[in-house]
Amino acid sequence: MHNVELRVSPRELTGKMAEMRVWLDERRFEPAIFSCGEGGKALRVSIAFKAAGEAEAFARRFGGRARAL
């Protein structure tokens, strides 16, 4: 698995989630795991992909950090 973590402000979460879903659907990427939790002033969003290339593309697009699990 390849995980991407990013930070999203609580007020931007709904719009950012919709943007992520459209982006994922357009590419037919299917995340294996999705979680969201508190991380200080921003929310921590964590998404795991089976393919490293998908995780890296997602991280580039949404400003996250990709790493292998």
pLDDT at 41: 86
pLDDT at 40: 80
CATH number of 25's domain: 3.30.70
**Can you spell out the DSSP letters for 36-69?**
EEEETTEEEEEEEESSHHHHHHHHHHHT-EEEE-
With a threshold of 0.85, does the pTM exceed it? yes
pLDDT at 43: 94
Q: How many domains does the chain have?
A: 1
pLDDT in tens, 1-54: 999 999 999 999 999 999 999 999 999 999 999 999 987 889 999 999 999 999
Range of the domain at 51: 2-68
